Structure 1
């Protein structure tokens, strides 16, 4: 099977899984957006996916992500930064990402706002452009939290959400989380749904709930995810990172 046919078949299978999860949860068809995570895969795969109707792609590593986004700038795609962002690379991310899923500290929020403003000044973004930002939530129990995984503690989310909402050029779009490894994801995703509801109570426009990947997207959809981030199930085993 050639690569185009492989990606088309895999993408169709994941779309079927999402549709079945929507139906099982009693949610409207098409209520969940699929972000295909293309990190470490070539720009040619992004082009093939766009040809299959993919509209949202996720990246996580600079400078690979920026180079790929520029190489595919002619495609009608929405680009998502789905991995951790070093503060020093925030300006580079703000120059290509349409959505940043991983804001987990106020220093990063401030750096994204500065970087976005610079990208507008330099003509990389049009006047009036807004960068959508999600607050990443750490769903691990307090005693199991690993700072290296990223994510804000649940108790820190309201202040961080307020910081995003108050930043010029940024728009608070919602929340994101990764289920802790080795546990049933249903509990953590239900906890994320509760956090998301509290954020929406203060910021009604922050409706995005980004949760679920190749192995747990069904559980995420049942818990109310609006976006799932799927890489392996569409693109196959990820090439080694050099």
Structure 2
């Protein structure tokens, strides 16, 4: 078994254990393999180990990988900050976008989503920790933005996403994820998704109802940013 396959199995076991500890059905938590900076060969290896959903932060790198892996039935998620001049290729080439944080971006994605494709699944990114360096709308803006995005024709609003401030304190980790869950639950919309939790804190995220956990280093190893195209 390859290293990536072994890591996928280990992370899958960790997800199942965390879900069972939280009294949840493990099938309600999905693994999103964060493949940014990883070569197409690593994605192919993960596919051969059963992984189907992959998250990318850098548009051109992602498009190159999609071309190289066009023979595989993969589901592609864009999870990085979105610039207005990048919305068309994102709308045309991805199945999910986890990082919508303002109406202008959502409107462009909706207008540029091809009619031949299913509506684009989107999550609103929320800056739950109030970090100046992080993307995301403020928690108090979520309700209004969600109503506006839910009304757009070529999008399907699925839920919320967050990248809380890093901390090794499990209580602080869980509190940040609980805040995102509460924000979703307060919305009078049929939302089924919480995209939250990474390699170091997925257990606390699952305890607070995460449905996607975004895992990179625990699957592929340390990233080499110098190798990114």
TM-score range, shorter chain: over 0.9
**CA deviation map 1:37-65 (0-9, x unaligned):** 00111111111111100011100101111
**CA deviation map 1:185-206 (0-9, x unaligned):** 111001111011112xx211x1
TM-score, scaled to structure 1: 0.89
- Of 4, 19, 40, which aligns to 2:16? 19
- Of 136, 143, 146, which aligns to 1:161? 146
**Match status 1:51 vs 2:37:** no
**Match status 1:214 vs 2:211:** no
**Match status 1:136 vs 2:125:** yes
User: Are 2:197 and 2:213, in contact at CA under 8 Å, matched by a contact in 1?
Assistant: yes
**Match status 1:99 vs 2:91:** no
- Alpha-carbon distance in structure 1 between the residues aligned to 2:195 and 2:59: 21
SS in 2 for 1:84: coil
TM-score, scaled to structure 2: 0.93
Instruction: Give the deviation of 1:145 after TM superposition.
Output: 3.2
2:209 is matched with: 224
User: Are 2:199 and 2:218, in contact at CA under 8 Å, matched by a contact in 1?
Assistant: yes
1:123 is matched with: none
User: Are 1:79 and 1:98, in contact at CA under 8 Å, matched by a contact in 2?
Assistant: yes
Show structure 1 runs of 4+ deviating over 2 A. Answer: 181-184
> Mind listing any 5+ residue stretches in structure 1 that lack a counterpart?
121-125
User: Are 1:66 and 1:93, in contact at CA under 8 Å, matched by a contact in 2?
Assistant: no
Instruction: Give the deviation of 1:208 after TM superposition.
Output: 0.4
User: How many pairs align?
Assistant: 224
1:180 is matched with: 165
SS in 2 for 1:63: helix
- Of 203, 206, 209, which aligns to 2:189? 203
SS in 2 for 1:151: coil
- Alpha-carbon distance in structure 1 between the residues aligned to 2:88 and 2:217: 28
- Alpha-carbon distance in structure 2 between the residues aligned to 1:186 and 1:218: 9
- Alpha-carbon distance in structure 1 between the residues aligned to 2:70 and 2:193: 25
